[in-house]
């Protein structure tokens, strides 16, 4: 996951400034009545190539519309987009991340797509609603994944520990298995990565206890006591040697996928998103196994898993051509031609019909992810609200707070209260 590069308050100021600037941004109308739209996204060179092919397919069906791509990598994407929005020069179509969608929408920078005939009937209900909040539809999910535990079968086998049944395992099972793996493995191999810095893990942990990380109206959805209990569990896992020491956790906090404990054979279990299976497996030189999160009861519905948006298709509120923007986003969401080109490049296809239609073209690993995502559907918990304004990236420093507890600098309750105060301050 990328780190937040633009500070929360700077971004708020930049987006706020956009609201007082006159005129309209976005695409223009070329000679002869041809509409030109600008489309921005981040990603690898492979993504750029595939996305351009999708653009070409759309333009072939819509000769009156030209799409100009603007792309780069994650590192500079958000600084550039904030600057463009503040200068009233935002692209018409914007690849958006769940960390920032509410922030941009809340500042009036995103178009309400519900008014422009984007058909989401083929999406699971929770996926269709993922970009819907504050009375509008501000993003259409372009890929689906889910928070998962990635297990290293070789390390399980070497330790003589059986892989769990992920539909029935509990947190007690997880603790027992992780502790046993550390005890029976070579020095330097740990039963599990710590989940203490992972907001997705905290979200599921809270949902299983009747709370949530965020509320629908953009507030924190938990108490200091609940967060303190989470910190206590991480500390207990550390004390049982189920997870690494505080020093090792801090040392590996900024590791890339290739440097991660999962990829380097130091963690028998790690916390990832389902769409990272291929990347982690390739980096490790072996196939990992996708596992659902453990639950309190051992019942699959009680795990409170959820579909996470890989990204969203969003649009500038100041586009001159909202109808044409709607046509393009509908094409991205529902066209078989687009799906056959995109496949799983941005995550599992969110349109269920297109997911089935493209399954045979996927790599073996992506087919595993596809089946995993589809199998989760009957056991999903309630849709999860988007990240509130101000809490994207460094606005919610969970890892730092967990570190304060593990190093003994703060009690669990004091660390919880401090994090809540920081988060509330960042939302102001």
Residue 383 has pLDDT above 90, yes or no: no
- Is 180 domain-assigned? yes
Structure tokens at 153: 């079968």
pLDDT more than 70, % of the chain: 93
Residue 114 has pLDDT above 60, yes or no: yes
- Is 380 domain-assigned? no
Residue 170 per-residue DSSP state = B
Among 5-9, 183-187, 298-302, the range scoring the smallest mean pLDDT is: 5-9
pLDDT, greater one: 184 or 31: 184
Cβ proximity of 216 and 133 under 8 Å: yes
- Render pLDDT for 140-160 as a digit per residue (tens, 0 to 9): 999 999 999 999 999 999 999
**Could you tell me if 270 and 419 lie in one domain?**
yes
Per-residue confidence (pLDDT) for residue 393, from 0 to 100: 72
The CATH number of the domain where 330 resides is what? 3.40.190.10
Q: Which residue has the tokens 């942990």?
A: 205
* Length of the chain (residues): 428
Mean pLDDT of 7-13: 51
Domain of residue 240 covers: 147-305+397-427
pLDDT more than 90, % of the chain: 85
Structure tokens at 263: 């990829």
> Which among 327, 353, 370 is the end of a domain?
370
Tell me what percent of the chain is helix, strand and coil, each rounded to the nearest 5: 45, 15, 40
Cβ proximity of 412 and 401 under 8 Å: no
pLDDT, greater one: 338 or 7: 338
- Mean pLDDT for the chain overall: 92
| Total domain count, the chain | 2
Per-residue confidence (pLDDT) for residue 282, from 0 to 100: 95
**Could you tell me if 164 and 288 lie in one domain?**
yes
What is the C-alpha end-to-end distance of the chain, expressed in Å? Answer: 25
- Is 387 domain-assigned? no
- Is 113 domain-assigned? yes
Mean pLDDT of 172-187: 98
Q: Using 50, 70 and 90 to split pLDDT, how confident is the model at 15?
A: low
> Which among 325, 353, 370 is the end of a domain?
370
- Render pLDDT for 33-64 as a digit per residue (tens, 0 to 9): 899 999 999 998 999 999 999 999 999 999 99
Cβ proximity of 275 and 347 under 8 Å: yes
Sheet containing strand 147-151, edge to edge, reads 269-273, 147-151, 289-291
Per-residue confidence (pLDDT) for residue 1, from 0 to 100: 38
**Could you tell me if 184 and 131 lie in one domain?**
no
Q: Which residue has the tokens 């279990």?
A: 269
**Could you tell me if 128 and 223 lie in one domain?**
no
**Could you tell me if 173 and 219 lie in one domain?**
yes
**Could you tell me if 332 and 220 lie in one domain?**
no
Per-residue confidence (pLDDT) for residue 21, from 0 to 100: 44
Cβ proximity of 44 and 13 under 8 Å: no
Among 71-80, 189-198, 242-251, 363-372, the range scoring the smallest mean pLDDT is: 71-80
- Is 383 domain-assigned? no
pLDDT, greater one: 3 or 340: 340
Residue 20 has pLDDT above 80, yes or no: no
Taking alpha carbons only, the member of 110, 86, 108, 88 closest to residue 97 is 110
Per-residue confidence (pLDDT) for residue 22, from 0 to 100: 36
- Render pLDDT for 262-293 as a digit per residue (tens, 0 to 9): 999 999 999 999 999 999 999 999 999 999 99
Q: Where are the beta strands (DSSP E) in 210-354?
A: 269-273, 289-291, 308-309, 312-315
**Could you tell me if 112 and 159 lie in one domain?**
no
Taking alpha carbons only, the member of 147, 214, 209, 230 closest to residue 401 is 230
- Render pLDDT for 306-340 as a digit per residue (tens, 0 to 9): 999 999 999 999 999 999 999 999 999 999 999 99
> Which among 370, 388, 417 is the end of a domain?
370
Taking the model in full, what pTM does it have? 0.88
Q: Which residue has the tokens 């990603």?
A: 43
- Is 41 domain-assigned? yes
Taking alpha carbons only, the member of 237, 423, 172 closest to residue 249 is 237
**Could you tell me if 402 and 294 lie in one domain?**
yes
- Is 173 domain-assigned? yes
- Is 377 domain-assigned? no
**Could you tell me if 205 and 118 lie in one domain?**
no
**Could you tell me if 189 and 254 lie in one domain?**
yes
Per-residue confidence (pLDDT) for residue 18, from 0 to 100: 47
**Could you tell me if 127 and 163 lie in one domain?**
no
**Could you tell me if 292 and 323 lie in one domain?**
no
Mean pLDDT of 78-91: 96
Q: Please report which residue ranges of 285-397 form alpha helices under DSSP H.
A: 322-334, 336-342, 352-358, 364-376
């Amino acid at each position: 996951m990328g780190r937040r590069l633009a500070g929360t308050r700077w971004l708020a100021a930049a987006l706020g400034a956009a609201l007082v600037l006159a005129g309209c941004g976005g695409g223009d109308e070329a000679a002869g009545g041809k509409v030109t739209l600008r489309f921005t996204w981040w990603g690898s060179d492979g993504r750029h190539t595939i996305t351009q092919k999708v653009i070409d397919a759309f333009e072939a069906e819509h000769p009156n519309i030209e799409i100009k791509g603007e792309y780069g990598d994650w590192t500079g994407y958000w600084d550039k987009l904030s600057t463009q929005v503040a200068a009233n020069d935002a692209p018409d179509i914007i690849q958006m991340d769940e960390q920032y969608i509410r922030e941009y929408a809340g500042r009036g920078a995103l178009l309400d797509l519900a008014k422009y005939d984007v058909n989401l009937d083929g999406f699971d209900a929770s996926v269709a609603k993922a970009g819907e909040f504050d009375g509008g539809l501000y993003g259409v999910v372009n890929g689906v994944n889910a928070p998962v535990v990635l297990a290293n079968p070789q390390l399980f086998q070497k330790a003589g520990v059986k892989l769990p049944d992920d539909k029935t395992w509990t947190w007690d099972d997880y603790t027992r298995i992780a502790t046993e793996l550390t005890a029976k493995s070579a020095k330097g191999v740990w039963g599990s990565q710590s989940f203490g810095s992972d907001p997705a893990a905290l979200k599921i942990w809270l949902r299983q206890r009747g709370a949530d990380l965020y509320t629908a109206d953009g507030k924190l959805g938990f108490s200091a006591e609940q967060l303190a209990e989470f910190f206590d569990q991480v500390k207990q896992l550390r004390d049982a040697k189920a997870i690494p020491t505080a020093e090792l956790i801090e040392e590996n906090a900024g590791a890339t996928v290739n440097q991660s404990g999962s990829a380097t054979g130091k963690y028998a279990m790690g916390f990832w998103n389902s769409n990272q299976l291929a990347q982690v497996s390739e980096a490790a030189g072996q196939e990992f196994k996708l596992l659902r999160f453990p639950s309190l009861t051992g019942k699959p519905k009680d795990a409170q898993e959820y579909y996470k948006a890989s990204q969203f298709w969003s649009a500038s509120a100041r586009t001159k051509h909202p109808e044409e923007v709607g046509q393009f986003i509908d094409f991205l969401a529902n066209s078989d031609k687009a799906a056959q080109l995109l496949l799983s490049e941005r995550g599992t296809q969110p349109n269920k019909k297109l997911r089935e239609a493209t399954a045979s073209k996927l790599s073996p690993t992506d087919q595993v992810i596809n089946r995993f995502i589809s199998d989760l559907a009957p056991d999903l918990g309630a849709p999860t609200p988007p990240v509130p304004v101000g809490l994207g990236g460094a606005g919610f420093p969970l890892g730092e707070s967990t570190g304060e507890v593990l190093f003994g600098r703060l009690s669990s309750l004091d660390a919880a209260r401090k994090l809540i105060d920081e988060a509330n301050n960042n939302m102001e």
